[in-house]
Chains A and B, each alone.
Chain A
């Protein structure tokens, strides 16, 4: 028999919405704003019903002025409110960089601890159906670079809710990175509010042959890769960092020290990226005597194309992840790759545009 607070299957998008609704119920300082948060599509449903329940003082759209709107969010946060600023694509956050990097990240420090910035900036990464150059970017490494910001990248509905509640309750600016293709995916999520706290990674599958770190939706792709690898006799340990800043290097390093192979799969480019950071931090932590072989995977070193045939070359997928992991784990054996028709994820089979 189920209790009211028992976990039940919930979509990622509904978990986001539920987290915000519960926090707005709990704390009247929380408000949601951004272009389209109050329209009939309500950011793919992630803000659905909030306007009706909380009114237009707490749920409102904005002019197309990302720079100033970010500053306004920061000022409101410093003045004691708890804003959630929403962008329907992460690419638009490039228009927010001045305020996020020069003010939000530095406010507590450069003003001697006299102010804090309890701000959540939600944004969604797009993928496929022609999202292309300016609707597909994962810019998390830019934000990880800057002291004073926190970065969350939940890969499933459970963590989406728990990270969102933790982010809203955090007294620091949190860049909250969502992925469009995760919106329809379901996991068991507790009905009552709970937090997934910053700085703790999750081991998703256990294995002794290779450690695979998957960031954002790449965690899901890595889990699928691990299933394919298992069929070929390779046991992969998949780790989802969940929070990229603060980053739980200890959990990743402990796993890599044991498996001696580390593959980091990012939803972004390799150059100066999260994958580069994780690999470097793990190697510094364990030292050369650990003898770990490492590899980064991420977006191809080019701009995201729109044609699906070109796009297939741009992203890592369960097949290419499994192939790379096999090479790390079985360097003396011939190359292996799973059958391409087995490397699609459920959402790739089911999902159709438009976005």
Chain B
């Protein structure tokens, strides 16, 4: 299936973004056992398409905010790859200068708010950015990414209500991978399929995509963001996805007993990276893949060769 409104160049761009994130995280997982990456990594392998689709309709002046699983969002919005890799290495050149690690990535110049490790905390913070955007009247929007677990926190409800009340330009994106750490959603919600109706009951229009289709997510995001820029108020997208690796760390964990490999099979069959790879002509795809490998190798080299922070830096930036 192709997307009628997208040109081959659009598809190539989306493929590049998907593949770049996939390979960045695969390389991260490969390096991880060496203990050079001194940071807990929460990989988004298998669910990159949500960040890719949403960030593709955002631009300069728009902001994104996310959780401890934010590599995909950060890269899709244009965050610096070398700075993130160096951050995971704990180096002085990292995006947080070695004080945030994988869970707290930030790139203000690319419109990436700092990501946060306490579940759901960035939902209201992103709404604060949206309040500032609304007051600035420049048509900018904010997108905040969170998981299904975050939708159970009180501040999710509180923020939806405030965003609707004030018609804030904020897109809530629930990446529903069905697990909070190791707990399936059915053990956590009486009505697992009603995240969208929570938003709608508070006045936030909501849309659900069940099959992980990058084009479908992009199409909805494009539509709601266009309206948002004209003062249309907030919206929510719930995208069902599947996390291929363990909650935290580089490995698969289908042998741990809380979930089984048959769950991932349909998601691998519809893997959006492979799907779009098949839509890009061979020569172009080979060039893109090669450029990605070079970029990642350069980022790893940058991280490895960067200086460690000076001891005195432990006290800098406590206060602005």
Q: Which residues of A contact B (CB under 8 A)?
A: 57, 62-63, 65, 67-81, 98-99, 102-103, 107-118, 147-148, 150, 171-172
Contacts and interface: CB of A to CB of B under 8 A. Distances in A.
Given A76-B129, A76-B131, A111 B162 contact: no
A113 B316 contact: yes
Contacts of A78: 113, 125, 128-129
Given A65-B162, A75-B131, A76-B132, A102 B317 contact: no
B127 interface: yes
Contacts of B320: 108, 113, 116-118, 171-172
B94 interface: yes
Given A108-B318, A110-B100, A111-B104, A63 B129 contact: no
A15 B319 CA distance: 27
B238 to A, nearest CB: 19
B132 A70 contact: no
Interface stretch (B12-20, B152-160, B258-266, B273-281): B152-160
Contacts of A74: 124-125, 128
Interface string B91-120: 000111111100010111000011010100
B128 A79 contact: yes
Contact of B97 (A62, A73, A99, A113): A113
A71 B123 contact: yes
Size bracket, chain B contacts: 35 or more
Contact of A68 (B65, B94, B96, B158): B158
Nearest to B98: A112
Contacts of A107: 114
Nearest to A95: B154
B319 A75 contact: no
Given A65-B158, A114-B114, 5 more contacts: A71-B123, A72-B131, A114-B95, A114-B108, A171-B319
Contact of A69 (B123, B129, B158, B316): B158
B108 A68 contact: no
A71 B133 contact: no
Contacts of B287: none
Contact of B124 (A71, A111, A115, A116): A71
A112 B106 contact: yes
B187 interface: no
B165 interface: yes
B135 A75 contact: no
Contacts of A70: 124
Most buried by B among A72, A98, A109, A150: A72
Interface string B60-101: 000101000000000000000000000000000011111110
